């Protein structure tokens, strides 16, 4: 027997109810972003592989293990996007968008990573995000975090998320800290996990984010990043926290919250929850002042965030906040074959008037009403030969069992009062 046809591992079908929830999240996010002056951008789902190699690092797990990369028929090295920021930065450079700086945009779409599928993490996933390019001031960081907090509040999850906040300082502060951190960790390398040993030379700050218990014990005695801040780094972080305080946005300073690549500077943040188990991050962002230059553009400040739609969906589901599925408002029932064509005409006029209308393709009136009941339809417009001769219809409330006869020319006005 042939194996049943299934979706590829790490992908799943967005059926009507889940799709509606994803749409609600996306539309809410779009509305909030627009209030802050962010415009929609759509970049291609695949780019030249070099776009992501530069943005995520040649030796990062994303590039070496997780990207879907291939050689196309023209011999070009192509990669399905594993995230969306790099594509936005490429678009910023190739379209000459520097003239519009500070450039503010948001996006929503699928991304692809080959990783072990688990709850809230798929190989094809969907992401919403915003990017702000060309503004180095702490007020830009405040706006981005305020937008993220506003979005989570609009979705109804504000009370179950915590803002984790940190600063990586500027390049000078970070370099000094990296040197001290490597010296400390080298003294304790015999106790480090295998992953952390691999990161010690190339990405030592990532060790601070390790979940391994042995690493955690070693990290607890490591020098702190903030102790190596110069005056500029301290001033930036103080302005950020003062701005968040002024807006009433609560946060927890977490000095182990880091980003491993050198183009990240100053602010990093995550909104996390305890409602989703191990997959606790629902939105994450940070400042990436060195990325545009790294990708071949002019030195340009940048900050943004991304939110996984699947994570947000799971959180709304856990909190019973998913929108109720939309049901049909009206069913049109021809009582005889001779009234079928006229019934279809009524259904079409109701649809043009803005109502959602179902009309079965066949079946006796009783069967059609049973179908309407399964669909959750409230009202039935019934048309028999007598009604057609009198230019009327019978309007029945299927929930209350009441009905009335209505002239056809008054049907839309009557429905509008319900």
Q: Which domains does the chain have, with CATH numbers?
A: 16-169+230-318 (3.30.930.10), 171-225 (no CATH), 330-416 (3.40.50.800)
Closest to 95 measured CA to CA, from 87, 107, 106: 87
pLDDT for residue 1: 45
- The per-residue pLDDT for 208 is 86
> Would you state the pLDDT for residue 262?
75
Ranges of the chain whose pLDDT falls below 50: 1, 418
Q: Which structure tokens are listed for 289?
A: 């002042």
Place of tokens 């029932």: 333
Phi, psi of 388 (to 5 degrees): -65, -40
CA angle (298, 304, 308) in 5-degree steps: 135
Q: In 208-264, which residue ranges form alpha helices assigned H by DSSP?
A: 213-219, 231-247
């Amino acid at each position: 027997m042939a194996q049943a046809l299934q979706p590829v591992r790490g992908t799943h079908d967005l059926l009507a109810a889940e799709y509606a929830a994803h749409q609600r999240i996306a539309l809410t996010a779009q509305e909030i972003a627009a209030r802050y002056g962010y415009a929609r951008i759509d970049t291609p789902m695949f780019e030249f592989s070099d776009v992501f190699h530069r943005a995520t690092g040649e030796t990062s797990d994303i590039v070496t293990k997780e990207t879907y990369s291939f050689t196309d028929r023209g011999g070009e090295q192509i990669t399905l996007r594993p995230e969306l920021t790099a594509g936005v930065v490429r678009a910023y450079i190739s379209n000459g968008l520097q003239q519009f700086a500070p450039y503010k945009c948001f996006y929503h779409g699928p991304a692809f990573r080959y990783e072990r599928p688990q709850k809230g993490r798929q190989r094809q996933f969907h992401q919403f995000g915003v990017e702000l390019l060309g503004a180095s001031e702490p007020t830009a960081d405040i706006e981005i975090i305020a937008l993220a907090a506003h979005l989570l509040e609009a979705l109804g999850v504000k009370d179950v998320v915590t803002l984790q906040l940190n600063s990586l300082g500027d390049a000078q502060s970070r370099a000094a800290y990296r040197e001290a951190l490597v010296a400390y960790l080298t003294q304790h390398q015999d106790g480090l996990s295998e992953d952390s040993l691999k990161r010690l030379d190339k990405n030592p700050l990532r060790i601070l984010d390790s979940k391994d218990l042995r690493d955690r014990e070693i990290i607890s005695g490591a020098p702190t990043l903030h102790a190596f801040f110069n005056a500029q780094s301290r001033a930036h972080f103080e302005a950020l926290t003062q701005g968040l305080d002024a807006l009433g946005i609560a946060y927890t300073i977490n000095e182990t919250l880091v980003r491993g690549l050198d183009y990240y500077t100053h602010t990093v943040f995550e909104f996390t929850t305890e409602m989703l188990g191990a997959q606790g991050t629902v939105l994450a962002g940070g400042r990436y002042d060195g990325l545009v230059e790294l990708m071949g553009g002019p030195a340009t400040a940048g900050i943004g965030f991304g939110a996984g739609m699947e994570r947000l969906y799971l959180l709304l589901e856990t909190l019973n906040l998913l929108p109720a599925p939309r049901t049909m408002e009206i069913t049109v029932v021809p009582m005889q074959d001779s009234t079928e064509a006229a019934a279809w005409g009524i259904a079409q006029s109701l649809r043009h008037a803005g109502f959602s209308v179902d009309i079965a393709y066949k079946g006796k009136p009783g069967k059609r009403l049973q179908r309407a009941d399964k669909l959750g339809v409230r009202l039935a417009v019934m048309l028999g030969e007598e009604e057609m001769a009198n230019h009327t219809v019978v309007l029945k409330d299927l929930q209350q069992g009441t009905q009335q006869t209505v002239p056809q020319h008054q049907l839309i006005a009557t429905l509008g009062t319900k």
